[in-house]
Structure 1
Amino acid sequence: MSSPAASTAPTSTYVQPVISTDGRLGHLTPEQTIKLQQFWVKLFDIFDGKVQFDQTAPSSFKGQAREEENADGTPAAPVQKAGWFGRRTASESGPVAPRFTGPQLQKTFWKVAMMDHPDLLVLKFIRARKWVLEDAMKMFLNALKWRIVERLDELIELSDEELDVKYPKFIQQMKIGKGYLRGADPLGRPMSVVNTRLHHKSDQPAETIHRFTLYTMECGRMLLPPGAETVIVIFDLSNFGLDNMDWGFVRLFVQCFEAFYPETLGVCVVHRAPFVFWGLWKLIQPLLDPVVASKFVFTRNNAELHKVVPRERLPIIHYDGLDDWKYEYVPAVPGENDRMKDTVKKEELLAERHGLEISFDEATRAWIKNLDGKNSEQRDEIAVQLREQYTRMTPYVRAVNLYQRWGVAVNGEVNWTYNVKKE
């Protein structure tokens, strides 16, 4: 009589995608490196004020014109009405007053660079515009202006409680688990889960969900480990109904990944879409950029989802994964942001950071004097210093977020843990 079969691990159905390295940092051809050098030439011309550029603020993507401010906080001139995705229509109101300067955009550029190699940031825009530098520059400058208009700094600098006061029910979005980042695939791409069944447009002000979405986007950037440039978004449409549909959120999501965070969406998984969704999809799909649309994947059940994300990285609950984990919002701890009040140390670190930025600028200006398609090891070395310095500066310029309380993002390192259970 044979003995009982030994317990074996479940067979994995996950299929790891092959990510192209073409045009990515560390894999540039000499021709692509020359394009990158030429982009920096154009960028410095803007930063230095040598050439004119479109100084008007980007239009709102909320589907309507809105009151905006100049860069100095004064009321802006009337803006043109925006189209469905915020694209400006022909205007009869005359020219719009200038709003931005080259030095201001340069300052914003260094804020958005954070821990990344500056080349990694600009290459996303160059690739998004198929290496047509004029188009890439317009897109890049528009994204910098958009960050100023959207006041993205506050989403980094304000605590959960402060954001909740400014945007009612902000913390409530996190408490119910409407949207959050959890885990990464084997390629290191963070996964963002959106539970659409928990969203009802009338439950919170439109501005709150708008700000919470951008907050999650910025947190996602913090959770990108070295070597990973994209994220995975999982739209969980379980029990989705028409009352869960929010066109404002759809517009924001699409515009962000098309225009303001290009080359950042790795794959968008639409999970368990009910019959009612497909009528809406017929309206959404034609509005998507073909590149963004190509990244949508539809999974009808958990078994199909396991082919996109390994079971070991998915919770047991709801997704039939192997990770014994349940979402929980961890509130702020008293005093967790005390270092942000240490103005002396903060100014010292900001001065150190500025010195490194100047060093990178100088090395880049020297590098682009000869468009030879060769890499600059000096720039790469300074970029490493910038990342290390930003790690030390973070507690003084960024409020602690949920993912730091979870212990995922600590001292510049990203560490997801999975409590894998045997099936």
Structure 2
Amino acid sequence: MTTSTYVQPTLPTDGRLGHLTPEQTEKLKQFWVRLYDIFDGKTAFDQTAPSSFKGQAREDEGEPAPAPEKKGWFGRGKSASESSTASAPVAATARFSGNDIYQAFWKVTMMDHPDLIALKFIRARKWVLDDAIKMFLNALKWRIVERIDELSELSDVELDKKYPKFIEQMKKGKGYLRGADPLGRPLSVVNTRLHHKSDQPPETIHRFTLYTMECGRMCLPEGSETVIVIFDLSNFGLDNMDWGFVRLFVQCFESYYPETLGVCVVHKAPFVFWGLWKLIQPLLDPVVASKFVFTRTNADLHKVVPRERLPIVHYEGLDDWTYQYVPARPGENDHQKDLAKKQELLNERRALEVEFDGLTRNWIKQSGGKSSPERDAVAKKLREQYSRLSPYVRAVSLYERWGVAVNGQVNWTYNVKAE
């Protein structure tokens, strides 16, 4: 077998959970102080959603954005787009209370340590708390306006009914998660040659992109924070270009999922791409732009991702695997119908959230830049509890059908063939 050419990077630890300096811990405390002042209604904040939150697909179509829904933790009520207020512009109608922000915060936390979520935004804004808080609030409001919850609550079939040709995107394999590098970072593959903007409604590709982003979070093992995105530009042509997708991709990793992109590999870019790159590059934040890597050949790609983790087909890897969409199985979401058990688990979750809140409020009053073992212990309970709650509030995804992300555990398997 050919000697591996993979070069494993060293991931940064500065400012990460478990590696904070006393000064950084104090910054984190102050971030929580400001959050609780907003949650409690003590501090005024911009309660409206900027018009840019309409979403690129809707802006392009001239369709106004929906107002935020009023529903409970992972509720399945009528979506904002179906409500009578959907025709009003977001900037004029959306009003967010401190409690709305609080609920959105705990929804986005899922199985992660709450500090991990906060630190992503703090690092993204270079530890300037005013900027970090503003960015965090915008991201939470964006999740409400974009109805991000429905992407995990609804089944493939329900999403396809609401967004025509949604399942078609999955069947074609336009974008999917497959495997991880040795550091646990999931690999997200985007096959640009399979995409033609006019083949589906703009809103469908918009929602499918966000759906894949959310699935990526469930494929992050404990301790991993970032993903590797591989843009496969094999046979790419101008008819495959979609500026709406590019804008959404940039916005997501810069504003709504900060500190989540580990590496963005642009693979086998043809000559026509480089003219487009001159237009794309200025749109990128310098930090995001620094994460782009260009690989001209499969041999180049093997230096970024081990051959054992790459499929034989297309990438000359050693993994005998071919993408296949596995459709939903009858009854796979029956847990969601057990309302009594669901409510029991939601009450249990709420109790842990309240416990974490209480410990945090006490912690931020203490002097000294020390962490709180008690808070960390509750965060572990939250992760374990979410693995039990998840089947009752999330529809089964393709990755669960593959056996990858099940009950909070991430397990990629590779069928490695000798060369």
TM over 0.5: yes
Letter in 2 for 1:334: P
Give, in angstroms, the shift of residue 10 of structure 1: 1.8
**Correspondences of 1:377-392 after superposition (within 5 Å):** 377-392=373-388
What does residue 75 of structure 2 align with? none
Aligned partners of 2:192 and 2:231 also within 8 Å: yes
What does residue 338 of structure 1 align with? 334
What does residue 11 of structure 1 align with? 3
RMSD, aligned CA: 1.2
CA separation in 2, counterparts of 1:76 and 1:138? 27
CA separation in 2, counterparts of 1:381 and 1:14? 37
CA separation in 1, counterparts of 2:309 and 2:88? 50
What does residue 3 of structure 1 align with? none
Unaligned runs of 5+ in 1: 1-8, 81-95
**Correspondences of 1:350-361 after superposition (within 5 Å):** 350-361=346-357
Secondary structure of the residue aligned to 1:152 is coil
* Count of paired positions: 400
Aligned partners of 1:76 and 1:97 also within 8 Å: no
CA separation in 2, counterparts of 1:79 and 1:352? 34
- Indicate how the Cα distance of structure 1 residues 321 and 370 shifts in structure 2: closer, same or farther if over 3 A, else same: same
What does residue 223 of structure 1 align with? 219
What does residue 308 of structure 1 align with? 304
CA separation in 1, counterparts of 2:177 and 2:192? 15
What does residue 25 of structure 1 align with? 17
User: 2:402 aligned with 1:406, yes or no?
Assistant: yes
- Indicate how the Cα distance of structure 1 residues 11 and 394 shifts in structure 2: closer, same or farther if over 3 A, else same: same
* Deviation digits for residues 282-307 of structure 1 (CA, Å, limit 9, x no counterpart): 00001100000000000000000000
Report the more deviating stretch, 374-383 or 59-68.
59-68
Letter in 1 for 2:64: E
Aligned partners of 1:231 and 1:265 also within 8 Å: yes
CA separation in 1, counterparts of 2:151 and 2:66? 18
Give, in angstroms, the shift of residue 70 of structure 1: 3.2
- Greater Rg by CA: 1
User: 2:45 aligned with 1:49, yes or no?
Assistant: no
CA separation in 2, counterparts of 1:297 and 1:48? 44
What does residue 93 of structure 1 align with? none
What does residue 291 of structure 2 align with? 295
CA separation in 2, counterparts of 1:134 and 1:324? 49
Task: Identify, as 1 or 2, the structure richer in helix.
Answer: 2
Letter in 1 for 2:182: P
* Deviation digits for residues 368-413 of structure 1 (CA, Å, limit 9, x no counterpart): 0124211000000000000000000111000000000000011111
Aligned partners of 2:66 and 2:90 also within 8 Å: no
Secondary structure of the residue aligned to 2:36 is helix
What does residue 369 of structure 2 align with? 373
Unaligned runs of 5+ in 2: 71-79
Equivalent of 1:34 in 20, 26, 45? 26
User: 2:113 aligned with 1:117, yes or no?
Assistant: yes
Give, in angstroms, the shift of residue 77 of structure 1: 5.6
Aligned partners of 1:168 and 1:204 also within 8 Å: yes
- Indicate how the Cα distance of structure 1 residues 76 and 378 shifts in structure 2: closer, same or farther if over 3 A, else same: farther
Secondary structure of the residue aligned to 2:149 is helix
CA separation in 2, counterparts of 1:268 and 1:169? 27
Give, in angstroms, the shift of residue 75 of structure 1: 4.9
What does residue 84 of structure 1 align with? none
TM-score normalised to structure 2 length: 0.94
